[in-house]
A and B are shown apart, each in its own frame.
Chain A
């Protein structure tokens, strides 16, 4: 549901960790792929759509929950968020791609096709996260 209004709720802010950390896979600055490092590169977006695409799903959810709260009262978004939280926990191991079927059904994206299904499908990704590191991060012992 694409609702208008509530522009003040949108946030395009960049988190402190920055957009595109210059470190490559081994922690060293990766000149070949990312170019020379500069502070500007890490903080400013390289493409006008980069920020809005990164936060798109979050912003959509925020707008929708706000509208729902205004129409139906506080309980409606609370209930929905509880269901989202439950559905988000149904995952495979951290380094394997999960289907997120329950989450998609709740969001309503199980019967739409967008660019996130066609381009860069994580199932077809050529690189995989390191199993040990990702599990340790998930368990909080990293």
Chain B
């Protein structure tokens, strides 16, 4: 179909449907229905700087209002070989697209400058993009990594503000996790002690917050290695049933029984081989 306009088309967001959506939502709410919500990932995420690098930890539950949408989702995403970042509470789709775009941008930038990427560079690009969209992209993140300036940890909020701190938590379970950190954090901890601390902080979030649950994922980043420990701890196992809850055959008395045979003829038989490779 030809478009009789003289403007050259540009890319990016198109706001053509916003009016139509507003009218639709108004009509729906008159009848008592509501439009579907975007899926969020209420969460507990924590990061801390230890002696040799950065440890990031996350829970693995994605919620859809009051229902658990995913029991084991991955919230820690790779940006580049020396850094990783988490995506957090906020709309899951926004988080995914943001991480993918940032990952590409970091790679392009480091190819263009010829140097390994800096954590500060990722943070700056993220916060500029989030500020440009004034918080409508609902993803807050923690960026952690080790570069030539040492281990660094930044947190970025959906409107574009950021913090640089030695330990951080975000998400709906942030209050529970930060209390554990505030109590036991010391600068320059050893690896095992730091892993235990992050695990405890995330577990506090899992137990004390409804939006977080399932397992604890950890990611240990040093200047030489990135160790992604998926399912590091599973504090919440599915409970085992105490007894059997099946009825014995013969529990229900049979009063009457009617048998109606259905005569069927085989008309056609075809065999489809399944590809079981």
Q: Which residues of A contact B (CB under 8 A)?
A: 2, 20, 25-27, 33-35, 41, 45-50, 52-53, 56, 94, 97, 111-122, 125, 127-130, 133-134, 137, 142
Contact = CB atoms under 8 A, between A and B. Distances in A.
A26 B19 contact: no
Interface in B1-46: 1-6, 8-16, 18-20, 22-23
Contacts of B136: 48-49
A129 B6 CA distance: 7
B134 interface: yes
B101 A50 contact: no
B132 interface: yes
B59 to A, nearest CB: 29
A116 B11 contact: yes
B14 to A, nearest CB: 6
A107 to B, nearest CB: 14
Contacts, number: 103
Nearest to B20: A35
Given A49-B134, A114-B101, A128 B3 contact: yes
B196 interface: no
Given A33-B20, A49-B134, A121 B15 contact: no
Interface residues of B, number: 34
Interface stretch (B102-110, B212-220, B251-259): B102-110
Contacts of B180: none
A129 B3 contact: yes
A112 to B, nearest CB: 6
B3 A130 contact: yes
A97 B10 CA distance: 10
Given A53-B15, A114-B101, 10 more contacts: A2-B128, A25-B3, A34-B19, A52-B132, A53-B13, A115-B101, A119-B12, A127-B2, A130-B3, A134-B6
A140 to B, nearest CB: 11
26 contacts: A2-B128, A20-B16, A25-B5, A33-B16, A34-B16, A34-B20, A45-B15, A46-B18, A48-B136, A49-B15, A49-B134, A52-B134, A53-B12, A56-B132, A94-B8, A111-B109, A113-B108, A115-B11, A117-B11, A118-B101, A122-B9, A122-B11, A127-B1, A127-B2, A133-B6, A142-B6
Interface of B: 1-6, 8-16, 18-20, 22-23, 97, 101, 104-105, 108-109, 111-112, 128-129, 132-134, 136
Contacts of A52: 132, 134
A128 B8 CA distance: 9
Contact of B13 (A48, A120, A122): A120
B6 A120 contact: no
Contacts of B23: 35
A2 to B, nearest CB: 5
Given A111-B109, A125-B9, A27 B4 contact: yes
B6 A46 contact: no
A35 B19 contact: yes
Nearest to A98: B8
Contacts of B15: 45-47, 49-50, 53
A46 B22 contact: yes
Contacts of A127: 1-3
